């Protein structure tokens, strides 16, 4: 193992001990274990699909039901994230087919979400690569700056696999299992909806998700690839409490001044919680849909519109929602402006 890898693992362990990192990522382990434990391959595809759908009906985090990178993985906007046809494709892999030989043209989800499903259904065959960007962590950890390393698509998740296996070989030499299990077991006890039982030791599926978790840590905390120009101290909640907005200025007509500093800090704080920056109304992610050009992009919506204010008022962090461009426009189609929940309800009604 090279020095970079060793130092990165030590940073990972230190961060896990001193923060809520493990607790915050526990929902992915719960999801993966639920899928693995409840899918019966002797059952028809429709029954298997029901289990997969059930895995996304639970509120894993405060952000809403389901796993973020799965919920937004539909290849078409507002499309389903998994279907019966996908189950048939998963079955081909279980029966021995090689990924590159399967016709994925009609798959429902993105390739990163595809890898998450396969890794949860068949952990002995695949590691989860639930986001783009791991070519960066592979290059950093393994000193492998392969110029033509694919950055997305089927080849991307395939090329990552041998490096994930090598990562596991290194990680199992450290006391990660002892560190994670108490946190994960406590999470399972406190969130019993999926009935995932506490464990005495890691299974293959747990190690698979630790591997992706380590690469996620390197990507976010060591390489800092989700950060923008705001410093680390800026993105702590206590530093983004409130600003004064709405003071009028002399111009050709009266206008209202928006303070961009708070919006930047809110976005940066949200990126730490949700790297995909999903729309709070519909779940759309510019990063997931457009790749690198969509990284960090989302619009800020004032729950108390500045145009409806009379003079100066305090704007706090909780007064700002982050939404996609379409939802932002639709929110302001209301008179008065629609609330987040009202627009969510309209979307649900029109999907029926």
The pair of three-digit structure tokens given for residue 94, joined into one six-digit string: 């279980």
Q: Please report the pLDDT score of residue 78 as a whole number.
A: 44
Q: Please report the pLDDT score of residue 238 as a whole number.
A: 35
Q: Please report the pLDDT score of residue 337 as a whole number.
A: 85
At 244, which helix (H) or strand (E)? strand 242-245
The pair of three-digit structure tokens given for residue 247, joined into one six-digit string: 């003071």
Q: Please report the pLDDT score of residue 232 as a whole number.
A: 36
Q: Please report the pLDDT score of residue 334 as a whole number.
A: 81
Q: Please report the pLDDT score of residue 90 as a whole number.
A: 96
Q: Please report the pLDDT score of residue 244 as a whole number.
A: 40
The answer to whether 299 and 282 have CB atoms below 8 angstroms apart is no
Q: Beta strand pairing status for 320-323 and 299-302?
A: antiparallel
C-alpha span between 96 and 63 (Å, rounded): 37
Collapse the DSSP code of 94 into the 3-class scheme (helix H, G, I; strand E, B; otherwise coil) and give the result. Answer: helix
What is the distance of C-alpha 321 from the center of its chain? 18
R_g over Cα of the chain:
22
Burial class (CB in 10 A: 0-12, 13-18, 19+), 100: exposed
Q: Please report the pLDDT score of residue 71 as a whole number.
A: 78
The pair of three-digit structure tokens given for residue 75, joined into one six-digit string: 């290849």
Q: What is the pTM of this model?
A: 0.67
The answer to whether 242 and 262 have CB atoms below 8 angstroms apart is yes
Residue 249 half-sphere exposure, CB side, CA atoms within 13 Å?
8
Q: Which residues contact 77 (CB under 8 A, 6 or more apart)?
A: 284, 289
Show pLDDT as tens, one digit a residue, over the chain (352 residues).
678 888 999 999 999 999 999 999 999 999 999 999 999 999 999 999 999 999 998 877 655 677 878 877 776 644 578 999 999 999 999 999 999 899 998 888 889 999 999 999 999 999 999 988 999 999 999 886 666 889 889 999 999 999 999 999 999 999 999 999 999 999 999 989 889 999 999 999 999 999 999 999 999 999 888 654 333 333 333 333 444 444 444 333 333 334 456 777 788 888 877 788 888 898 888 888 888 788 888 988 887 654 444 444 455 667 788 999 899 888 888 878 888 988 988 888 887 6
Looking at the DSSP assignment, which residues form a beta bridge with residue 242?
316
The pair of three-digit structure tokens given for residue 45, joined into one six-digit string: 């595809």
Q: Which of 114, 119, 206 is nearest to 156 (CA)?
A: 114
C-alpha span between 315 and 300 (Å, rounded): 13
Return the C-alpha torsion angle 283, 208, 214, 54, nearest 10. 20
Residue 191 half-sphere exposure, CB side, CA atoms within 13 Å?
22
Residue-wise over 110-142: b if at least 16 C-beta within 10 A, else e?
bbbbbbbbbbbbbbeebbbbbbbbbbbbbebbb
The pair of three-digit structure tokens given for residue 146, joined into one six-digit string: 């392969």
C-alpha span between 244 and 257 (Å, rounded): 10
Q: Please report the pLDDT score of residue 61 as a whole number.
A: 66
C-alpha span between 276 and 292 (Å, rounded): 11
DSSP notation for 283-311: ---HHHHHGGGGTT--EEEESS-GGG--S
């Amino acid at each position: 193992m090279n020095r970079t890898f060793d130092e990165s693992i030590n940073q990972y362990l230190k961060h896990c001990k001193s923060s809520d990192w493990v607790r915050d990522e526990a929902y992915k382990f719960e999801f993966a274990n639920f899928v693995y434990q409840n899918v019966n391959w002797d059952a028809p595809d429709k029954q298997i699909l029901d289990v997969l759908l059930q895995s996304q009906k639970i509120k894993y985090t405060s952000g809403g039901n389901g796993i973020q990178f799965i919920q937004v993985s539909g290849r078409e906007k507002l499309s389903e994230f998994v279907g019966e046809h996908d189950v048939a494709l998963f079955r081909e892999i279980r029966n021995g087919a090689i990924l590159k030989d399967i016709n994925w043209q009609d798959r429902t989800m993105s390739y990163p979400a595809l890898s998450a499903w396969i890794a949860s259904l068949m952990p002995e065959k695949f590691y989860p690569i639930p986001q783009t960007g791991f070519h960066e962590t592979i290059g950093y950890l393994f000193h492998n700056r392969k110029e033509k390393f694919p950055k997305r698509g089927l080849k991307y998740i395939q090329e990552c696999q041998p490096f994930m296996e090598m990562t596991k070989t290194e990680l199992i030499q450290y006391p990660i299992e002892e560190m994670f299990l108490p946190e994960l077991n406590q999470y399972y006890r406190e969130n019993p909806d999926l009935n995932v039982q506490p464990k005495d030791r890691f299974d293959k599926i747990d190690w698979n998700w630790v591997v992706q978790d380590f690469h996620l840590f390197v990507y976010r905390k060591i390489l800092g690839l989700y950060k923008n120009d705001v410093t680390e101290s800026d993105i702590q909640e206590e530093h983004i409490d409130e600003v004064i907005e709405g003071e009028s200025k002399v111009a050709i007509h009266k206008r209202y001044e928006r303070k961009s500093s708070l919006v930047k800090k809110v976005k940066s704080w949200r990126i730490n919680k949700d790297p995909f920056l999903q729309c709070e109304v519909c779940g759309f992610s510019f990063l997931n849909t457009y790749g690198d050009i969509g990284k960090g992009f989302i619009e800020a919506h004032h729950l108390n519109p500045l145009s409806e204010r009379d003079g100066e008022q305090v704007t706090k962090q909780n007064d700002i929602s982050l939404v996609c461009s379409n939802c932002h426009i639709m929110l302001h189609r209301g008179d008065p402006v629609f609330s987040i929940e009202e627009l969510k309800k309209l979307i649900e009604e029109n999907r029926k």
